[in-house]
Structure 1
């Protein structure tokens, strides 16, 4: 049987509270009982010593116990609930307080209508008599016999105190339990109420409504983080849904344009409007190449996203490879009057996939070429830091807007400013670049500002790209 979180938490708190109350009660009761019994033992011994001292004071060396003070002994016997009997050295009885007052005490505790009678009668105990020698100057002068009920001759005050103490423990435990129930229910609801709301939000999201948000007001850190994570998930899914719809539009646009051109050219050939020429066939070939490039990029991205992406690592100079790629593209930059600068920190040998590194560099340099206006500037830097190697490729191009920046590495995503056919690609190049960088254990990030420029920063840990001996 499955229980709700409220019931489980409440039950857990109650078990913990009951355990704490039980342990505290047992330990406290044991300690108090032990100290109280020590106190009773001391009081009982004090009574015995008081009786012996009193009997010794009424002894006379010449006349023995002839001048005994019967009234004083009787008063002590009644006051302390004792039976006192004094014998001389011959064993003859000198004094007896009688047991009437003790029998009266027993009958009082045996009365059925007496409050707590059964408990007190049980604590009263059995009748006990003890004998103590009487001495005068190390000479035995007699014996005193003291009788009482119970181990330590408990008085009504003593029994009442113990009973009150036990009642106090019972009342305290009950009050603590009730308080624990109230607190546990309140605390459980403080935890479960936000969870219920988050669960409801997740269920609504599962039904397709991505506009819902988990509006949870809680001071519990984990629940607040869970709520924010759920809201972030909803926003991400909503953005992904928007990207999916945008992807459909983009792909339709990318495919429709070359197909429309090809269709119009072929219809012109068939209708005899156009005479087949080399230039017109070249135009058709360019459109076919555009479609082929689009399909090829899709295939490359699918391969890169496979879990078993294989890297053909080899040792080479990263500085030389960057310089080669820049020089290979320099004619294009010169044609557009774009200045290119390189700052390479030393000749760093790495253990990476040379072809994949070239593809990363070509993609980023091509981006810089496309989105940098004539007369602009592109910089390429390689820097070796303590635990990593950093490659930066920056430009003074059109930049990327803040709303587009978080999605720049997502497949088929293109910012509004880069959607023209002349500059805008398929939206796959940066996704491929990111996959290749991460395949080498690195990370890529971007900084950009509209009309200022864009900088791509790649961080490769040395442990991931250095040659392992």
Structure 2
């Protein structure tokens, strides 16, 4: 038993890796998770105790319980820690209710829980032995997103440690065999190059024993995988950076319209500007997350979207841009409301990209038309322009990343050839369809289809 090198390698590999995995699992189960839960509960208790002390101090100081001094703290706890409060006076009349943020958050596409997902505790507010009010505290039953992300990241570190132990056991096992010196030297040299970020390094395909051949093959696959991941990371970084220009341009046009007196700063228009700003913030957040994530795919947050309202929002956002370039924008209002399922931010990202393309490649005095219609169980948005169009040889490649036809034209517009590839990826993620029909010098018709919501 264990006479062959392969059997001993398997033995040491299993011994080291399983030992590490068992030790790490036990440490996580009996130490870290318990300590982390205690920390979260202690933190929440200290926050609530601090609020109660300050409310009672406010009453003792002013003789009345208003909670006005606590509003910044209440708002901070609601936005950062998902900790909400309802404050009542001694007659159980509501004074402050920060759970309204839950409804506000849902309308602004913020990641807040519903009140049904929260647990609650009630505390009496006392002063000199007399009841002065009641404080209801609402908090999540489970981990918040940031806590879950922390635990997931911690688990990833544990996995990396376990894999490192496995890797070390393999290397040590191979080093005990003198017959494999040449093969191990190649592996060692290639590993050093990989550590220097030389992702193109490969081990030559030579005749070694089976174990070394398998190791060389695995290393090459690993280097290839790392190289592809690095290219994918840079590609997605460039994609998102490209998308930052769109909300900035929209915000700029709206603000300039306010400054020039073209628009009055009404609450509705300010709200539209705020929506663009929040889309910009979320794009920046996505960029930061994608740089650190192993999987760069973006999770969709599907919701029911009112198509009529969405078209009106696009009209308000893009009309100043089209007027500036002296292009006529026609967005046909549907006869009745209709609804469809999509991620609201990604839907606007799709439509904004397509309208920006129409704006870029339509000459002064041209017309861009946006229509919508129902087809069976689908909702279709059609963007038609009489601009420069796309040549027949370029049309099959318009969705390819970084593909740019007519380089001189693209130098003028500043495109880098990723806008339509992003649109295609987002439409595919929605399980929708997108088609482009175009003829050079005549114009382009883009048709995007989403699934309709059953009313």
State which structure, 1 or 2, has the greater radius of gyration over its C-alpha atoms.
Answer: 1
TM bracket, shorter-chain basis? 0.3 to 0.5
Q: TM-score, normalised by structure 1?
A: 0.34
Q: TM-score, normalised by structure 2?
A: 0.35
